Each structure stands twice: as structure tokens, then as C-alpha cells.
Amino acid sequence: MNAADLRLPVDVPSTALFTDRYELTMLQGALRSGTAHRRSVFEVFTRRLPEGRRYGVVAGTGRVLDAVENFRFDSGVLDFLADRKIVDEATLDWLAGYRFRGDIWGYPEGEVYFPGSPVMRVEGTFAEAVLLETVILSILNHDSAVAAAASRMSVAAGERPLIEMGARRTHELAAVAAARAAFVGGFTSTSDLAAGFRYNIPTVGTSAHAFTLLHDSERDAFRAQVDSLGEGTTLLVDTYDVAEAVAMAVEIAGPGLGAVRIDSGDLLLLAHRVRRQLDELGARDTKIIVTSDLDEYAIASLAAAPVDAYGVGTQLVTGSGHPTCSMVYKLVARADEDGADAPLRPVAKKSMGGKASVGGRKWAARRLDAYGVAEAEVVGTGEVPAELVERQLLVPLVRGGETVAREPLSAARDRHAAARAALPMSATQLSRGEPVLPTEHP
């Protein structure tokens, strides 16, 4: 059974109302003016990375494909639009038969991006493409923000595994998406069962302080957990006195105790003390897991500590201070008449305040130096230079309304690790800096 095919609480029958009202009123106006069926090209990009970040991470592509497939105006949705008089009858009639039949190109999930990178390109009639703006941005902005934070945390953690534990710090549906994005960015498991069921991400978890407090003594709690889950379980040792708890944990579970978890206090100091104590007690293979409001900087500060794994919650699901990527969805080219073969002409917003856009249907490629290391993100229109043809970044995701780019989530995870490794070494520095690659417009 494929969990992704099941109707779960983390899915919705239709994504058609995951949109802003003005998408539908624009549609109505375009239908009336006769411009709705002009061939159009929209692009998703960001004008800047969050302050101090060196690269962005594309995440949520697979969820976008799900959302486009489920973008349907069923009778309940149409009744809502009619009752609220949001659009007129002619528009309702058009929406009743809506299916996206255009093409979508994009950076493959897990790829890195920079300011101006056309991370997704949606081509079709204005009517069918404009409606997808909000749901696409909602997914990409959230998931890419979480994946970027996860990537930085993965760099800081090195080879040590990372556990996503943020479900209780965000909306219940966002928690599932965050766990998915974190896995793309380098996390190895999640505490969220819905994410495990929906996306086949490994799940972990044993007990919280409440379990210890429930029992008459810490000893009783540890005994109950070991009896239930076996000596390979992870015991939480900071409810009362850490040193006493560690001694008791090894006494009860034996030297085969799987791990101890520390969730408070001076993690650096405690990790060293606990490691020494475990070794003295003969539990040399018992792991140490640390949690407690970690971010990439806290993880980096523990690099020299005898820590075996990290559990991260709040800072991960909120993008470690940057919960959105500020991606936008802009019309960059359109035809002057109806017809799939009508020639396109560039269009662009001209405004002050840094919100101008660049017109034209774009390609993107990453130029490498003589050592095979990325040195520039090249974004242009028209013909792709011969030397960059094999380095193009956009791949087909949807053709003629049919999804063509389904892949396992592990593929996006592996792709991200490879893309990050191909960047200059300074990309993985946690200190603030400019994007590690310049964006060139030939």
C-alpha cells in the first residue's frame, strides 16, 4: 500500500480554495475582456535570500505536483463561490471544468538556488496558470524555508543524525510538510507519525518528562520503559538529577542501554560529564542525544562534545528565524492573441523599492570553474550558450497537464547533498555573508 494514495487527515480533496480571492476576480475580468486564453508564462523566484544566508534550498516540489493535480472546483467549492457572490455565473461555469493542461518546469527538488533563480516556471493560458499562484507560493515558501534551515543544521551536525521534533510548534498540517522538508535538507527521522505514514520518513520517540513524573519514582519509570521497550530504548535523564539518573539507567537497562537524552541545562558540560560517567559504568556504546531549543549555531557549538544525535523542533519548523523565502510568482511573458503557438513577448513590472522584475521566459544554468566547483548562477532568455547547455537547471515537471517528474523523497535528499557539496566551501560557513554564487544575466 502506498500511504501517499490514501485519503488522510493530512490531505484535502481539493486544493482549489488554497488561493487568494483576487486570483478568481482576475480570472473573471480576463474572461470578460477576452484575454483569459492568451498563452502566458509565470515564474517563481526570490529577489534576495534571507539576510546572511549563502544559498537557498528548493523543497516542496512534490507537494506542488500533488496540489496541481488536486486543483479542482467540485460542487461544494462552486456552491461556496456562488453563495458568496465571489465570481459571476460565467466564471463559475468555466471553473467547473478547470484542469491545468499546461506545462511546469522547475529546479528539481533538493537543488540549491540564488536570487533571481527561476525555481519554477508555469506555462499555459493566463486563466489556468494565474489560479495556481497562491498555492504554489504557499508550498514553496514554507518548505524551502524549512529545508534551508535543515540544510544549515545538517552542515553543523556533520555525520551525526538529526531528528525532526517540531510538530508541537506549528500547525498540524504544516508539521507534516516541515518534516518532509527537513528530510530533504538532511534530517534522518521525525517524531511525527503523520509524516512517517504519508512520506515513509523513519519515525523515532520514546518518552517525555510526563512519563517519569507519572511514576512514584524515577526508578519505577525507567523500569517500566525498559520492560516495555527493551534495553535498547532511550531514557530521558534530566527530570531530576542527571548523574543519579544516568547511574540508575545503566543499573536497570545494563550496558546495552541504547541512549540517554538530555533536554535542559548546559548541554556542552553535561554531555562531557554523562559520556565520562557512561564509560565508567561500562556503557561505552550508549548514545547521547541532546534536545532543547537547538538551532544551527547551538549544534555547531556542540561539535566537539561527545554527542551522538540532535533533536530539533521550534527553530527548524520556523526556518531558524526566516519562516519564508519571499518567493514571488510573476507573469514574465504572454502572447497578444489566443492560440498555443502564438508568439510570446516579454512583460515585466517596473517599480521603485526593489520590486522590479525581469521579463522573458528564462533558462538557468550553473557555470563551473576548472575544478568542477560552481562559480555562477547564469539566468537568461533566448538561446542557451553552447557551453551551458549541459548545465541547465530546469527540468520538466508537468507536460500537457500530466505529471512527469514523480520521484522518491530520498532522491531529493540525495540531490540536495550533492548540490550543496558542489558549491564553494564558504557556502557551509554559518557566519553571515552574501550568496555564495553571483547571479549573472548575460
According to the model, what pLDDT value does residue 355 have?
Answer: 74
According to the model, what pLDDT value does residue 245 have?
Answer: 98
Q: CA 11 to CA 379: how far, in whole Å?
A: 35
Q: Is 2 exposed, middle or buried (0-12, 13-18, 19+ CB in 10 A)?
A: exposed
According to the model, what pLDDT value does residue 7 have?
Answer: 45
**Considering the domain 3-131+326-440 in this protein, what is its CATH number?**
3.20.140.10
Q: Is the pLDDT confidence value at 2 over 50? A: no
Tens digit of each residue's pLDDT (9 = 90 or more) over 175-216: 999 999 999 999 999 999 999 999 999 999 999 999 999 999
Residue length, the chain? 442
Within its chain, how far is the Cα of 410 from the centroid?
Answer: 13
SS percent in the chain: helix, strand, coil, step 5: 40, 20, 40
According to the model, what pLDDT value does residue 11 have?
Answer: 53
C-alpha cell at 11: 490531505
C-alpha cell at 96: 467547473
Tens digit of each residue's pLDDT (9 = 90 or more) over 266-325: 999 999 999 999 999 999 999 999 999 999 999 999 999 999 999 999 999 999 999 999
Q: Is 17 exposed, middle or buried (0-12, 13-18, 19+ CB in 10 A)?
A: middle
Q: Is the pLDDT confidence value at 65 over 80? A: yes
Within its chain, how far is the Cα of 204 from the centroid?
Answer: 20
Tens digit of each residue's pLDDT (9 = 90 or more) over 109-129: 999 999 999 999 999 999 999
* Residue 325 contacts residue 180 (beta carbons within 8 Å): no
C-alpha cell at 279: 564509560
290: closest CA among 308, 278, 277, 272?
308
Q: What is the mean pLDDT of residues 399-406?
A: 97
According to the model, what pLDDT value does residue 3 have?
Answer: 46
Q: CA 102 to CA 120: how far, in whole Å?
A: 13
CA dist 35 → 128, 132, 181, 414 (Å): 12, 17, 38, 43
Q: What is the mean pLDDT of residues 94-103?
A: 97
C-alpha cell at 99: 484542469
Tens digit of each residue's pLDDT (9 = 90 or more) over 132-174: 999 999 999 999 999 999 999 999 999 999 999 999 999 999 9
Q: What is the mean pLDDT of residues 3-21?
A: 68
Domain ranges of the chain: 3-131+326-440, 146-321
37: closest CA among 343, 338, 347?
338
According to the model, what pLDDT value does residue 1 have?
Answer: 39
pLDDT above 90 covers a percentage of the chain that reads 93
The strand ranges marked E within 26-161 are 38-46, 56-57, 103-106, 112-113, 120-125
**Backbone φ, ψ for residue 81 (5° rounding):** -65, -35
pTM of the model: 0.94
Whole-number average pLDDT of the chain: 95
- Would you state the CATH architecture of domain 146-321? Alpha-Beta Barrel (3.20)
Helical packing angle, 172-185 and 409-421, nearest 10°: 50
Q: Is 371 exposed, middle or buried (0-12, 13-18, 19+ CB in 10 A)?
A: exposed
According to the model, what pLDDT value does residue 13 have?
Answer: 66
According to the model, what pLDDT value does residue 12 have?
Answer: 57
Tens digit of each residue's pLDDT (9 = 90 or more) over 19-39: 999 999 999 999 999 999 999
The torsion defined by the Cα of 239, 242, 246 and 251, in degrees rounded to 10, comes to -70
* Residue 404 contacts residue 396 (beta carbons within 8 Å): yes
